[in-house]
C-alpha cells in the first residue's frame, strides 16, 4: 500500500525531488534504469553496458568493474516458492485499488497484474 506512505511524504517533499524506480525494470534492464537515476540526480553518466553481465545460473544481471565481478549473495535471487493461484488472485484483487492510487500519485502505471 505504497500510496499511504507516498501521500504522507508528498506533504513534506515536492514530487520533483522523488524518483520512483520500477524494480521489475531494474532487474530486467539495469542499465536503462541506472541511466535514469544518474539523470535524475544530475550526475555524470558513468555506468555503461560493460558494467553488467548476465548470470544464467542466477537468472539476473551482475555488476562488473575494473577489478572484479560481483553478483548477489547466495541468499538473494532465489526462485519464489509456489503459492496457490487462488491466493495470488485474492492478493492481486485486494491490492488493485491501492496500486491504482499509487500509480496516480507517481504518474506512471507500473503494470502490476490485477487478476
Angle between helices 85-106 and 2-10 (to 10 degrees): 20
Q: Is residue 101 exposed (0-12), middle (13-18) or buried (19+ Cβ within 10 Å)?
A: middle
Residue, of 73 and 69, whose pLDDT is higher = 69
61 sits in which H/E element: strand 60-64
Q: Which residue has the cell 490485477?
A: 114
Annotated ligand binding at 78? The verdict is yes
Annotated ligand binding at 77? The verdict is yes
Annotated ligand binding at 76? The verdict is yes
Pairing of the two strands 52-55 and 69-70: unpaired
Per-residue pLDDT tens over the stretch 4-23: 999 999 999 999 999 999 88
Task: Enter the pTM of the model.
Answer: 0.78
Per-residue pLDDT tens over the stretch 77-112: 667 789 999 999 999 999 999 999 999 999 999 988
Amino acid at each position: 500500500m505504497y500510496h499511504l506512505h507516498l501521500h504522507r511524504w508528498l506533504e513534506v517533499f515536492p514530487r520533483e525531488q522523488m524518483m520512483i524506480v520500477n524494480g521489475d525494470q531494474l532487474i530486467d534492464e539495469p542499465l536503462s534504469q541506472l541511466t535514469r537515476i544518474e539523470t535524475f540526480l544530475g550526475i555524470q553518466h558513468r555506468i555503461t553496458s560493460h558494467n553488467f553481465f548476465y548470470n544464467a545460473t542466477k537468472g539476473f544481471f551482475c555488476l562488473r568493474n575494473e577489478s572484479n565481478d560481483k553478483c548477489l549473495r547466495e541468499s538473494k535471487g532465489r526462485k519464489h516458492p509456489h503459492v496457490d493461484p487462488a491466493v495470488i488472485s485474492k492478493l492481486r484483487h485486494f491490492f488493485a485499488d491501492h496500486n491504482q492510487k499509487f500509480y496516480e500519485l507517481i504518474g506512471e502505471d507500473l503494470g502490476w497484474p490485477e487478476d
